[in-house]
Structure 1
Amino acid sequence: MIRITHRISLDDDEIEETFVRASGPGGQHVNKTETAVQLRFNVRQSPNLSDDVRRRLERLAGNRLTQDGVLILVADGHRSQKRNREAVLERLIELIREASIPPTPRRPTKPTFGSKQRRLEAKGQRSDIKRLRSGKPDV
């Protein structure tokens, strides 16, 4: 069991890890060891996520989410497979934690009395300018 929050925890069998060769420099070692970790987590089939968390997680995942609803995370920043596994799992946990926080609703604000007065004053000045341009005499 992987504990995300006090309400959300994932089973180990929901996460699939595959190991691939990391790209980039590294000499002979990088050419024969599979240190990069590719984590797959099926967001749509997970029984441990509520519908709200699932929707927010799909939105947060962006292009890391496949058409089938599988979240793919890759870690290849470290030289050891163990540290890459820890890093990619931490990223998954952080992503789910962020998705579990509901958005705060926007509180509508009202313009202040002073801003209303300044707006009306500016409108009056603009009106005077346009009236003077028209060339019509004042009545």
Structure 2
Amino acid sequence: MAISILPTISLAESELEVTYILASGPGGQNVNKVATAAQLRFDVVRSPSLPERVRARLLQIAGSRLTRDGVIVITARRFRTQIRNREDAIERLADLIREAAHRPAFRVATRPGRAAKQRRLDGKAHRAGIKRNRSVRHDD
């Protein structure tokens, strides 16, 4: 079964490796006995589902979730059940891939115009006048 992320990108479930580990937090005795936290591993470098541009950006923005081998590791322990934690981990990976697929807007550098420069200088002069009027004058 494929996990749809964007109309052009979907991941095969076989590309995801989910293991379950002991979680901390609420759950009482159950949390000490049952491995409910889901740890998802996704190999970005070897994934055939990702376009090259998305792969490169994903490697940039993954941060501390990325291993040296190019594998993203996401640990989900927010919920008390394995199924909900697994879904949460997959959704977090999908959000990360969506963010990587989004093209940042191209910014054209501009310089301030004459009026903007004048407003800046007027503001500085005004502020200097305020400070000058605060000074104590001794008339001798």
With the shorter chain as reference, the TM-score category is 0.7 to 0.9
Q: Structure 1 regions of 5+ residues with no counterpart? A: 123-139
Deviation at 1:116, TM superposition (A): 3.5
Distance 1:24 1:117, change over 3 A: closer
State the Cα deviation string for residues 37-91 of structure 1 (Å, max 9, x = none). Answer: 0000000000111121111111111011000000000000101111111111110
Structure 2 gap ranges (5+) = 125-140
User: Which runs of 4 or more aligned residues in structure 1 lie more than 2 Å from their structure 2 counterparts after TM superposition?
Assistant: 24-27, 115-122
TM-score w.r.t. the length of structure 1 is 0.81
SS in 2 for 1:4: strand
Task: Determine the C-alpha separation between the residues in 2 that align with 1:77 and 1:28.
Answer: 17
Structure with greater Cα Rg: 1
Distance 2:116 2:40 in 1: 53
What TM-score comes out, normalization by structure 2 length? 0.80
Quick one: distance in 2 between partners of 1:30 and 1:24?
Answer: 8
Change (3 A) 1:114 1:79: same
Q: Does 1:7 pair with 2:8?
A: yes
Root mean square deviation, CA, Å: 1.9
Same amino acid, percent of matched pairs: 52
Deviates more, 1:91-100 or 1:20-29: 20-29
What per-residue deviation string (whole Å, max 9, x for no partner) do you get for residues 79-133 of structure 1?
Answer: 11111111111101111011101111112223122134467888xxxxxxxxxxx
